[in-house]
Structure formats: structure tokens, C-alpha cells
């Protein structure tokens, strides 16, 4: 019981810290959003006079008051679920904008991470079980993929697979000309077709880590006494492998997986830049470039909360699965 109370206490503190950091950092950034808008208007050929600045400041509501007042307003708004109005997509609400982009990020990067985890852990399990097989030689290769800069690999794959041989499209989330979002087979097919290349690059570049971790844990677990006992009892090797060895070996990988799920949203930034994918990473980048405080805060909050949620799930699950962690 004390274990769970401690955990919950930690998470409350962590949430507060995340919210406060989300509030402080965008305000530390240099630059004033009004100036950015004015320079963009000038570049688009619109007249800009001293009154223009005033007009825009009036429209955007300034944001005056001390930091403490703003912080108070921010917390109150947060409790009402109001994340503010976005500057980049004025006058859309931040929650709407994020809500449109979030499913794409979760679908692509989340699915790719899950696939990478399953394949990586599966291969790692076999590699650990059959030491000295050809699978062992696969490990350095996959680890090399992890040492490659992700966007470099992605851009080369894009060059090969969508320009040299035109199997996959180079950009976008789905074919906008022929289908619209909804639960139709055509839309899902299109989304899968467009998401295959980004997912492939994510899987290729992260599979090595899972494989290596799982293999090492398998090797460690296989030397335990209970494995010897199980074999001596005459159980089928596949049962020993799955029920006795893999189940214990996968624990650290599971905790790492849950944590990396939390970072799915954060890690999508580079992917979405390369593939023009309409997700949250692009939003964050646009927000940072345009000093859009509200949108930046909103995206940070979503990322922090998802990481925290993933961590909470891991900690609770781990406490359930592995009683040793509870007794300290």
C-alpha cells in the first residue's frame, strides 16, 4: 500500500513540475510574436505602418500582467481544459489544433514503436535462446542501424523507395485527392500506404536496441537455476523458452518500452519533418519558430502528460508483475 501511495505522491509532484516548466520555458524565449507577424505581412506585400503594430496587439490581446498573474490564469484555464488560442493558426483554439494532429502522430509513431518492440524482442529472444546461431550475427547489423542518424537513413530510403522505384509516396498522411478521413477501407488503405515508409524507417532504426537488450537478458536468465530445473523436469524446450525464460527476461524491456511509448510524441519531430506528416511534431516546430506561446505550452503539456502516464502505467504494472520491487 505504501508503495502505491509513494508512487502517486511522486506523480503529483512530477505533474506540477512539468506544468510549471511548460509555463516558464516558452516565456524565456526571445522575441515577440507580434513582430514575427508584422515581418510576415511585410514579406507578403501588405502595408505596414506604426498603427499596424497597434492593431495587431489589440487583436491578440497583449498578454499583460506579471508572470505570477499569468501563471494563475494559466492554471485556472488548464483546469477548465482551455489551452488558449493559437497564434500560428489564429484564431483556432490550441486544443482543436492539437486534437487534429495528435491521432496521426500516435498512429504512426505509436504503431511503429509497437511493431519494432514486438519484432525486436522476438528476435532477441531467439538470439538469446540459440547462442551461436546466425541470429547472433544479425545483432551487430541492427545495432549499426541504430548508430545511423535517423533522418539520414530516412532521406536515403525516401530517395530509393519513392523516387528511384516509385513504390511509396514521399509525403503526406493519406491521398487527399481521392479520399477523406473516416472509417472507410479506402481511407485506411491510403493511410497505411502513406505511413509505411515512415514506419519502416522508425522500425529499422530502433529495432537494434530492443533486440540487444532482450538477448542480453535472455542469456542472463537462461543461467538461472529454475531453467535447469524446468529442463530437468522434461518440459518442452519451447515451453521453457516462452514461459520460464522469456517471461522473466522481458521485464526490463517492458519498462523501457513503456517509457519509449511516452516519448513517441517527442520523437516524432524529425520523422514528421522528413515525411511532411501532419502530426504533433510539425506543430511544435511551427510553434517554436513563431513564438506561439500557447501552442508550445499545449504541445509540451501533451508530451509531458503522456510520458508521465506511460511511466505511471509501467510502475504500477511492474509492481504487480515483479513483487521484488515492492519490498524495499
Q: How far is the CB of 297 from other proteins (least distance, A)?
A: 11
Question: Binders of other proteins: how many residues, by CB under 8 A?
Answer: 153
SS3 call for 81: coil
Asked if 129 interacts with other proteins (CB under 8 A), we say yes
Could you say which of 76, 189, 243, 326 contacts other proteins (CB under 8 A)?
189
Among 138, 161, 266, 294, which residue sits at the site for other proteins (rule: CB under 8 A)?
Answer: 266
Residue given cell 538470439 in the structure block:
127
Burial class (CB in 10 A: 0-12, 13-18, 19+), 30: exposed
282 is an interface residue for other proteins by CB under 8 A: yes
243 lines the binding site for other proteins (CB under 8 A): no
Q: Give one DSSP letter per residue of 86-134, joined into a string.
A: -STTTTSBHHHHHHHHHHHHIIIIIHHHHHHHHHHHHHHHHHHHSTTSH
Tell me the three cell numbers of residue 191: 493511410
Chain positions 51 to 70 lying near other proteins, rule: CB under 8 A, are: 51-56, 58-60
Q: Please, which residue, 1 or 177, has the CB nearer to other proteins?
A: 177
Residues 26, 86: contact at Cβ < 8 Å? no
**Considering beta carbons, is residue 70 or 100 the nearer one to other proteins?**
100
Q: Please select the residue that binds other proteins; options are 8, 12, 76, 192, rule is CB under 8 A.
A: 192
Stretch of 62-70, 71-79, 136-144 contacting other proteins, by CB under 8 A: 136-144
Least distance (Å) between residue 9 CB and other proteins: 10
In the set 95, 111, 273, 319, which binds other proteins (CB under 8 A)?
273
The C-alpha cell that represents 121 in the structure block: 524482442
192 CB neighbour count, 10 Å cutoff? 13
Residue 305's SS3 state is helix
Which is nearest to 298 in space by CA: 62, 10, 100, 35? Answer: 100
The contact mask relative to other proteins for 68-107 (x = CB under 8 A, - = no) is: ------------------xx-xxxx----x--xx------
DSSP one-letter code for 222: H
114 binds other proteins (CB under 8 A): no
What minimum distance in Å lies between the beta carbon of 230 and other proteins? 13
Single out the residue of 63, 110, 122, 319 in contact with other proteins (rule: CB under 8 A). Answer: 122
- Select 72 or 239, whichever has its Cβ closest to other proteins: 239
Pairwise CA distance, residues 205 & 152, whole Å = 11
Q: Say whether residue 165 binds other proteins (CB under 8 A).
A: no
Tell which one of 308, 316, 317, 321 touches other proteins (CB under 8 A): 308
Of 62-70, 74-82, 199-207, which segment contacts other proteins by CB under 8 A?
A: 199-207
The verdict on 49 binding other proteins (CB under 8 A) reads yes
| All three cell numbers of 7 | 508512487
Q: Is residue 246 helix, strand or coil?
A: helix
Stretch that binds other proteins, among 65-73, 76-84, 176-184 (CB under 8 A): 176-184
Q: Residue count of the chain, please give it.
A: 328
Rounded to 10 degrees, the C-alpha dihedral 194/195/198/202 comes to -170
How far apart (Å, rounded) are the C-alpha atoms in residues 156 and 204? Answer: 13
Candidates 45, 81, 234, 323; binder of other proteins (CB under 8 A) is 45
Amino acid at each position: 500500500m505504501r508503495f502505491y501511495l509513494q508512487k502517486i505522491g511522486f506523480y503529483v509532484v512530477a505533474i506540477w513540475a512539468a506544468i510549471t516548466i511548460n509555463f516558464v520555458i516558452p516565456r524565456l524565449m526571445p522575441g515577440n510574436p507580434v513582430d514575427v507577424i508584422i515581418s510576415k505581412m511585410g514579406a507578403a506585400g501588405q502595408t505596414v505602418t506604426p498603427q499596424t503594430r497597434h492593431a495587431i496587439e489589440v487583436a491578440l490581446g497583449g498578454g499583460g500582467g506579471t508572470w505570477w498573474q499569468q501563471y494563475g490564469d494559466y492554471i485556472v484555464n488548464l483546469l477548465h481544459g482551455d489551452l488558449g488560442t493559437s497564434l500560428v493558426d489564429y484564431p483556432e483554439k490550441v486544443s482543436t489544433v492539437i486534437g487534429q494532429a495528435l491521432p496521426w502522430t500516435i498512429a504512426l509513431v505509436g504503431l511503429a514503436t509497437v511493431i519494432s518492440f514486438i519484432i525486436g524482442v522476438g528476435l532477441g529472444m531467439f538470439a538469446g535462446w540459440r547462442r551461436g546461431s546466425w541470429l547472433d550475427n544479425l545483432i551487430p547489423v541492427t545495432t549499426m542501424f541504430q548508430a545511423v542518424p535517423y533522418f539520414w537513413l530516412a532521406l536515403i530510403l525516401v530517395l530509393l523507395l519513392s523516387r528511384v522505384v516509385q513504390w511509396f509516396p514521399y509525403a503526406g498522411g493519406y491521398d487527399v485527392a481521392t479520399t477523406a478521413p473516416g472509417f472507410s477501407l479506402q481511407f485506411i488503405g491510403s493511410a497505411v500506404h502513406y505511413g509505411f515508409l515512415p514506419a519502416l524507417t522508425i522500425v529499422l532504426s530502433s529495432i537494434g536496441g530492443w533486440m540487444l537488450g532482450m538477448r542480453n537478458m535472455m542469456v542472463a536468465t537462461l543461467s538461472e537455476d529454475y531453467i535447469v530445473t524446468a529442463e530437468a523436469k522434461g518440459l518442452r524446450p519451447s515451453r521453457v523458452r516462452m514461459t520460464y525464460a522469456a517471461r522473466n527476461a522481458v521485464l526490463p524491456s517492458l519498462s523501457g518500452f513503456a517509457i519509449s511509448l511516452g516519448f513517441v510524441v517527442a520523437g516524432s519531430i524529425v520523422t514528421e519533418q522528413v515525411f511532411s506528416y501532419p502530426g504533433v511534431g510539425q506543430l511544435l516546430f511551427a510553434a517554436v519558430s513563431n513564438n506561439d506561446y500557447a501552442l508550445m505550452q499545449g504541445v509540451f503539456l501533451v508530451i509531458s502528460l503522456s510520458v508521465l502516464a506511460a511511466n505511471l502505467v509501467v510502475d504500477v504494472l511492474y509492481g504487480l508483475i515483479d513483487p521484488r520491487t515492492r519490498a524495499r
